[in-house]
């Protein structure tokens, strides 16, 4: 059903083969900021040997040795590379990438969209690096996601990539099935366990559950409410499958990520043992019991705030991309988001309705943020591990620079610049786990030399987090303005 393979690795040429530097690089005179510890090191000297950091000294007076490559970071700020813990490489971010949400296949066939996405993967990787993002978690896609991970390893200008395979779902999305579906509907616990075992062969970094709760049905006049109508009862319908997925995954030493935007589905997921919640709760304020549960279980939560506005704003022709997105996003993807350019006779009713009354859509977005931003602040204040993520690849959420809109929204929620940076480095590294997770997200000897050097201080204003001078990935130094050339 989903095992059809695509030769993504044929995209690799000899010129893109991964290279590990062997010489010594030393960064001097800059201010190093390690968000995980909150430590600020003035006049730091960071020594890089090959692909890793070998030494960090504060107020350093060391004179570089002959033969060392020296980066003078005077007046600049050095941080661990950013980490986006929620992306989808099977989606482009363009208007035609989710035909299950808006059917525009008569304008652009979905198979053409997917073919272009695969061709553009090396370019998409570069846009993450240009944004200072040196690691990402692709939290669900077709089986070719595993080939995408191998491609990312082989490309020098690419982030580190953790992946999940097809989403184990409570609902079907046949519009996305070209023989290798990204979403697979599972109806029984036995099917769930079998799916986990099949995915385990590919050594996924996560098993992903798409926990979509059915809406409550209004009873007919005079009739009592049907069973399964409370939030808890509706969430309980899919819970046996969630239980089976988590149990089988943990038996196989695999972590589980769950998409659950309703409080009761999120609560059930955490009670069952989910390791990562990949969205904010948006239907109601989180309660003390939920916060205590997250803390007891050590569950990580990724808010993905930016994605909540992008579908509605795109369809209403009210999309407001950031300067970073306009500069570093894929221009063809961005051009596709102008719904006024669609052939008039092929505009779906959903877009017509959104454009006819844009304020209604904007009001719905604000209602979502009224809940999601408050919930984020509540969880941050309670000490829950928050990991920055965007859900990039969805319509209007741009691969790479969407993270800077996410920062703006986290700031609106009341998080400080240091907290936002902690969510984007040390906290986000915890979503990788294993040897890689232990070697990214912080400034310490032995870690991978994945760094971003900024021209202005992000602690003064989080907007400065995009004022990127250069990016270092695996010990290789890239001037920011050269990455997309």
Q: How far is CA 356 from CA 258, 361, 389, in A?
A: 35, 10, 32
| Span(s) in the chain for CATH 3.20.20.140 | 82-217+229-438
pLDDT confidence of 142, banded at 50, 70, 90?
very high
Residue 10 has pLDDT above 90, yes or no: no
pLDDT number for residue 60: 77
Q: What percent of the chain has pLDDT over 70?
A: 93
pLDDT number for residue 370: 98
pLDDT confidence of 190, banded at 50, 70, 90?
very high
Q: List, for residues 373-417, the tens digit of each pLDDT value.
A: 999 999 999 999 999 999 999 999 999 999 999 999 999 999 999
As a whole number, mean pLDDT of residues 119-146 equals 98
Residue 275 has pLDDT above 60, yes or no: yes
pLDDT number for residue 2: 36
Q: List, for residues 331-387, the tens digit of each pLDDT value.
A: 999 999 999 999 999 999 999 999 999 999 999 999 999 999 999 999 999 999 999
pLDDT number for residue 217: 74
pLDDT number for residue 256: 98
As a whole number, mean pLDDT of residues 316-330 equals 98
Residue 446 has pLDDT above 60, yes or no: yes
pLDDT number for residue 61: 74
Q: List, for residues 35-88, the tens digit of each pLDDT value.
A: 999 999 999 999 999 999 999 998 877 667 777 899 999 999 999 999 999 999
Q: Does domain 16-80+443-482 have CATH number 2.60.40.1260?
A: no
Q: List, for residues 195-232, the tens digit of each pLDDT value.
A: 999 999 999 999 999 999 988 876 656 555 555 689 99
CATH of domain 82-217+229-438: 3.20.20.140
Q: Mean pLDDT in the chain?
A: 93
């Amino acid at each position: 059903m989903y095992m059809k393979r695509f030769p993504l690795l044929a995209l690799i040429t000899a010129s893109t083969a991964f290279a590990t530097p062997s010489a010594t690089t030393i960064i001097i005179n800059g201010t190093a900021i390690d968000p995980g510890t909150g430590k600020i090191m003035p006049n730091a000297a960071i020594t890089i040997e090959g692909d890793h950091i070998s030494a960090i000294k504060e107020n350093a007076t060391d004179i570089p040795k002959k033969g060392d490559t020296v980066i003078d970071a005077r007046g600049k700020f050095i941080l661990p590379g950013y980490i986006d813990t929620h992306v989808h490489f099977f989606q482009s971010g363009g208007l035609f990438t989710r035909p299950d949400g808006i059917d525009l296949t008569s304008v652009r066939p979905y198979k053409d969209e997917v073919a272009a996405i695969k061709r553009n993967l090396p370019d998409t990787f570069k846009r993450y690096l240009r944004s200072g993002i040196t690691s990402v978690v692709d939290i669900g896609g077709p089986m070719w996601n595993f080939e995408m991970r191998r491609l990312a390893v082989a490309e020098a200008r690419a982030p580190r990539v953790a992946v999940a395979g097809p989403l184990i779902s409570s609902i079907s999305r046949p519009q996305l099935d070209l023989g290798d579906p990204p979403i697979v509907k599972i109806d029984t616990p036995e099917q769930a366990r079998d799916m986990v075992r099949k995915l385990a062969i590919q050594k996924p970094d996560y098993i992903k559950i798409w926990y979509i709760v059915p809406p409550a049905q209004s009873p007919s006049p005079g009739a009592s409410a049907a069973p399964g109508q409370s939030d808890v009862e509706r969430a309980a319908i899919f819970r046996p499958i969630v239980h089976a997925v988590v149990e089988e995954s943990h038996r196989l030493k695999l972590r589980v990520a769950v998409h659950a935007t309703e409080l009761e589905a999120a609560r059930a997921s955490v009670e069952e043992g989910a390791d990562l919640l990949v969205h904010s709760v948006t239907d109601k304020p989180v309660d003390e019991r939920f916060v205590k549960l997250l803390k007891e279980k050590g569950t990580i939560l990724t808010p993905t705030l930016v994605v909540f506005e992008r579908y509605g704003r795109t369809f209403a022709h009210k999309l407001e991309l950031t300067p970073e997105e306009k500069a570093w996003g894929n221009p063809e993807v961005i051009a596709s988001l102008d719904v006024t350019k669609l052939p008039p006779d092929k505009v779906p009713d959903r877009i017509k309705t959104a454009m006819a009354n844009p304020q209604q859509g904007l009001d719905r977005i604000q209602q979502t943020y009224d809940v999601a931003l408050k919930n984020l602040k509540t969880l941050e204040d309670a000490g829950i591990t928050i990991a920055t993520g965007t859900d990039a690849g969805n319509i209007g959420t741009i691969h790479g620079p969407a993270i800077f809109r996410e920062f703006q929204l986290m700031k609106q929620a009341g998080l400080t610049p240091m907290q936002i940076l902690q969510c984007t480095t040390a906290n986000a590294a915890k979503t990788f786990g294993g040897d890689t997770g232990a070697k990214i997200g912080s400034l310490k000897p032995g870690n991978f030399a994945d760094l971003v050097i900024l021209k202005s201080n992000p602690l003064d204003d989080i907007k400065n987090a995009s004022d990127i001078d250069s990016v270092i990935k695996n010990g290789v130094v890239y001037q920011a303005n050269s990455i997309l050339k």
